[in-house]
């Protein structure tokens, strides 16, 4: 494909879902699939699938369908998950520990190399083989260990100051679970996971479209 071709953000939002379905097909040793079959599985129209996947050209062929593995690998490349990301978890609380213990992230190339906490009781312990270091070491650790992503999993009141430490250390991306907006330079990417907001959307939809 043309590397410089601009892909719409709506397509990008749908890519991880294609990636998941293609991964499941691969696991079941399916080597090719038509847009019609894929559309039935994914419950989107075949024309939507054709339009979306045409952005990555060359994988769909009339009468053949898609080569599952090629398309899977191509989407991985576009998502930037064909290479490893090195990630630290800031905050070894309940959610931080749950993320450390969840091995699916490593399978997708997000390797957790260390955790950080300010609680002396936790420092030095390991969770699923990941060592908890003191917050004072966070900045140098990021600089010296080629870390590109920090998962920010600390209470809201500390999140903004800690994000500043991450930025000063040269972090590239922040996976923000703190329930606040972070103010960072434009080239530092923030992906928010606001669980409370997710519950509020569920509540809204229950009220308006529920049974």
Report the interface residues with its own copies, using CB under 8 A.
12-13, 15-17, 19-20, 42-43, 78-81, 85, 93-95, 97-99, 101-102, 104-105, 108, 110, 148-149, 172-173, 175, 179, 181, 185, 187-189, 191, 193-211
**The residue to which tokens 């870390």 are assigned:** 147
SS3 100: helix
Q: Which of 77, 137, 140, 145 is nearest to 109 (CA)?
A: 77
- Rounded to the nearest whole angstrom, what is the least distance from the CB of residue 5 to its own copies in the complex? 12
CA quadruple 205, 208, 209, 211: dihedral positive or negative?
positive
Nearest CB to its own copies, comparing residues 42 and 46:
42
Q: Supply 132's token pair.
A: 């908890």
Nearest CB to its own copies, comparing residues 108 and 118:
108
- Rounded to the nearest whole angstrom, what is the least distance from the CB of residue 63 to its own copies in the complex? 28
- Rounded to the nearest whole angstrom, what is the least distance from the CB of residue 52 to its own copies in the complex? 14
Classify the phi-psi angles of 196: left when phi > 0, otherwise alpha if psi is within -120 to 50, otherwise beta.
Answer: alpha
Nearest CB to its own copies, comparing residues 77 and 118:
77
**The residue to which tokens 């990021």 are assigned:** 142
- Rounded to the nearest whole angstrom, what is the least distance from the CB of residue 206 to its own copies in the complex? 5
- Rounded to the nearest whole angstrom, what is the least distance from the CB of residue 178 to its own copies in the complex? 11
Q: Give the residues across from 33 on adjacent strands.
A: 66
Nearest CB to its own copies, comparing residues 69 and 148:
148
Tell me the H-state helices in 66-133: 68-79, 94-101, 104-107
Q: What is the DSSP letter of 81?
A: -
Nearest CB to its own copies, comparing residues 64 and 202:
202
């Amino acid at each position: 494909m043309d590397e410089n071709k601009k892909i719409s953000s709506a397509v990008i939002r749908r890519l991880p879902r294609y990636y998941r379905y293609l991964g499941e097909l691969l696991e079941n040793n399916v080597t090719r699939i038509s847009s019609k079959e894929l559309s039935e599985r994914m419950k989107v129209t075949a024309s939507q699938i054709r339009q979306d996947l045409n952005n990555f050209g060359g994988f769909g062929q009339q009468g053949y369908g898609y080569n599952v593995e090629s398309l899977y690998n191509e989407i991985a490349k576009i998502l930037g998950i064909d290479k490893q990301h090195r990630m630290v978890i800031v905050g070894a609380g309940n959610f931080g520990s749950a993320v450390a213990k969840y091995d699916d992230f490593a399978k997708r190339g997000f390797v957790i190399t260390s955790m950080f906490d300010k609680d002396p009781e936790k420092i030095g312990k390991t969770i699923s083989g990941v060592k908890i270091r003191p917050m004072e070491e966070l900045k140098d650790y990021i600089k010296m260990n080629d870390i590109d992503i920090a998962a920010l999993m600390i209470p809201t009141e500390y999140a903004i100051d800690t994000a500043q430490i991450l930025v000063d250390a040269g972090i590239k991306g922040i996976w923000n679970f703190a329930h606040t907006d972070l103010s960072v330079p434009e080239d530092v990417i923030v992906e928010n996971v606001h669980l409370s907001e997710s519950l509020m959307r569920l509540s809204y939809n229950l009220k308006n479209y529920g049974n």
